[in-house]
């Protein structure tokens, strides 16, 4: 296996860990959390960021995707290696206007940027590693509900998210309809399809078969499963973009170093993720996405979607080969107060929900008006 050239071979994990710069992160301890599996995670901590003043009725919850984090808006700085992932949409005077709204974004339970996850320390003071319990999307929302309670937010003016963030937004609106007034679902689905599970499970296996994985207990080793996480990200990134974009942008161009330009591009994105993410969290969160099925124990998909009372906008990307439009159409058709499906035209594939800021931002602005 060829590792992306710019990866530090001594790196163990890209997780944020105690002692690292906190940046804009704030932390709330929500206590013990019982999971769908019957297990309990003790002393759960959730990291979050917030913008704007809370007036009791203007709170907006923004939920990140698989490898996102709480840094939705703001510059790269100590503690935050990249610009906010929705910086063009969230901020003063922007579509999700923090002069008008109190925006909250939490790092997901099981993640690696401040919330309790596999790289966190357990009751014995050791990293959880491979012993961290399996999670479902519903478990992750349960943690977000506890965070909202701790922050004194009983009702969200809007809950919004794309991809895995959209899964959690939908679960919020189904399980707690009285707490969600508006709902924005982007490039997401009511359940994980066979195709999505197949792609995700293959990425998980790429990490687990790395010789440095050690069953997830690699934190005291000389380095982490860098090859596996790099390869998983490269596989994922292909599904995040479209054939049209890759063809037009790279074609069969070869760089001076002999690499196909498209290979160099994928290796670049693999290296970026390895430097800021944790392999165990990638496995845990991917498996949670595979568990996604809003109809489970609710009488099926239609019955679950019928529970949503929020005014809803559903948007899909026309070139998305990971979450194709039929999945968003199912949401728009099944949610009682959903507007007709909004189709965002883009060559960027699934990542269009992040890249097409003008169109996506206008949809968010209209929903919040």
Q: How many percent of the chain have pLDDT more than 70?
A: 99
Taking residues 309-322, what's their average pLDDT?
Answer: 98
Q: 42 and 165, same structural domain?
A: yes
**320 belongs to the catalytic site:** yes
Rounded-to-10 torsion of CA 213, 217, 222, 225 = 20
Look at residue 13 and tell me if it is in a domain.
no
The predicted pLDDT at position 162 comes to 98
Structural domain count, the chain? 2
> Measuring CA to CA, which residue among 91, 42, 136 is closest to residue 365?
91
Residues 118-143 have pLDDT tens digits of 999 999 999 999 999 999 999 999 99
Terminal Cα distance for the chain, rounded: 51
Q: 320 and 260, same structural domain?
A: no
Residues 162-210 have pLDDT tens digits of 999 999 999 999 999 999 999 999 999 999 999 999 999 999 999 999 9
Bridging pattern class, strands 40-51 and 102-106: antiparallel
Confidence check: pLDDT of 336 > 90: yes
> Measuring CA to CA, which residue among 114, 111, 91 is closest to residue 103?
91
Active-site option among 50, 163, 239, 281: 163
Look at residue 11 and tell me if it is in a domain.
no
Q: What is the mean pLDDT of the chain?
A: 97
> Measuring CA to CA, which residue among 100, 95, 97, 65 is closest to residue 358?
95
Look at residue 4 and tell me if it is in a domain.
no
Active-site option among 320, 346, 347, 351: 320
Q: 73 and 61, same structural domain?
A: yes
Look at residue 176 and tell me if it is in a domain.
yes
Q: Which of 259, 274, 289 is at the close of a domain?
A: 289
Confidence check: pLDDT of 91 > 90: yes
Bridging pattern class, strands 96-97 and 182-186: unpaired
Residues 214-248 have pLDDT tens digits of 999 999 999 999 999 999 999 999 999 999 999 99
Look at residue 226 and tell me if it is in a domain.
yes
Q: 280 and 227, same structural domain?
A: yes
Pull the structure tokens for residue 322.
């990971």
Look at residue 309 and tell me if it is in a domain.
yes
Residues 102-116 have pLDDT tens digits of 999 999 999 999 999
The predicted pLDDT at position 319 comes to 98
Q: Which of 233, 254, 289 is at the close of a domain?
A: 289
Q: pTM (2 decimals)? A: 0.97
Confidence check: pLDDT of 1 > 60: no
CA distances from 95 to 6, 205, 363, 364 (A): 36, 39, 8, 6
Residues 257-306 have pLDDT tens digits of 999 999 999 999 999 999 999 999 999 999 999 999 999 999 999 999 99
Active-site option among 237, 269, 292, 350: 350
Q: 223 and 84, same structural domain?
A: no
Q: 235 and 331, same structural domain?
A: no
Predicted confidence band at 5 (pLDDT cuts at 50, 70, 90)? Answer: confident
Q: 140 and 49, same structural domain?
A: yes
Residue 271: which H helix or E strand, with range?
Answer: helix 261-276
**350 belongs to the catalytic site:** yes
Predicted confidence band at 2 (pLDDT cuts at 50, 70, 90)? Answer: low
Look at residue 123 and tell me if it is in a domain.
yes
Q: 136 and 244, same structural domain?
A: no
- The domain that holds 352 is classified in CATH as 3.40.50.1820
Q: How many percent of the chain have pLDDT more than 90?
A: 97
Confidence check: pLDDT of 339 > 60: yes
CB 62 within 8 A of CB 90: yes
Q: 213 and 72, same structural domain?
A: no
**366 belongs to the catalytic site:** no
Q: 101 and 215, same structural domain?
A: no
Q: By residue range, what is the domain housing residue 319?
A: 26-192+294-368
Q: 110 and 169, same structural domain?
A: yes
Look at residue 306 and tell me if it is in a domain.
yes
The predicted pLDDT at position 147 comes to 98
Confidence check: pLDDT of 15 > 60: yes
Taking residues 53-65, what's their average pLDDT?
Answer: 98
Q: 267 and 146, same structural domain?
A: no
Q: Which of 272, 289, 306 is at the close of a domain?
A: 289
- The domain that holds 276 is classified in CATH as 1.10.1740.110
CB 128 within 8 A of CB 117: yes
């Amino acid at each position: 296996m060829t590792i992306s050239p710019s990866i530090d071979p001594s790196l163990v994990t890209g997780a944020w860990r105690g002692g690292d710069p906190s940046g804009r992160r704030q932390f709330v301890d929500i206590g013990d959390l019982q999971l769908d599996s019957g297990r309990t995670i003790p002393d759960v901590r959730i990291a979050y960021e917030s913008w704007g003043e809370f007036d009791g009725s203007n709170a907006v919850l923004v939920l990140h995707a698989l490898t996102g984090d709480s840094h939705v808006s703001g510059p790269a700085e100590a503690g935050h290696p990249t610009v906010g992932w929705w910086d063009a949409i969230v901020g003063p005077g922007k579509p999700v206007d923090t002069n008008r709204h109190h925006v909250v974004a939490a790092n997901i339970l099981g993640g690696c940027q401040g919330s309790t996850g596999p790289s966190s320390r357990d009751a014995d003071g050791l990293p959880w590693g491979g012993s961290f319990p399996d999670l479902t999307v519903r478990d992750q929302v349960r943690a977000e509900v506890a965070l909202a309670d701790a922050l004194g937010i009983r009702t969200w003016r809007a809950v919004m998210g794309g991809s895995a963030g959209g899964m959690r937004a939908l679960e919020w609106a189904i399980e707690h309809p009285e707490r969600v007034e508006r709902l924005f679902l982007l490039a997401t689905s009511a359940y994980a399809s066979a195709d999505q599970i197949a792609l995700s499970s293959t990425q998980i296996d790429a990490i687990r078969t790395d010789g440095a994985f050690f069953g997830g207990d690699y934190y005291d080793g000389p380095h982490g499963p860098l090859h596996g996480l790099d390869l998983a990200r490269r596989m994922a990134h292909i599904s995040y973009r479209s054939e049209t974009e890759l063809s037009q942008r790279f074609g069969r161009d070869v760089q001076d170093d002999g690499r196909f330009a498209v290979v160099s591009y994928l290796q670049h994105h693999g290296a970026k993720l390895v430097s800021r993410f944790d392999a165990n969290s990638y496995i845990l969160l991917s498996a949670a996405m595979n568990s996604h099925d809003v109809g489970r124990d609710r009488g099926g998909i239609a019955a679950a979607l019928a529970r949503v009372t929020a005014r809803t906008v559903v948007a899909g990307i026309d070139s998305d080969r990971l979450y194709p439009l039929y999945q968003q159409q199912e949401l728009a058709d099944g949610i009682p107060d959903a507007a007709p499906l909004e189709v965002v035209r883009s060559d960027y594939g699934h990542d269009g929900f992040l890249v097409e800021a003008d169109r996506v931002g206008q949809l968010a602005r209209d929903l919040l008006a």
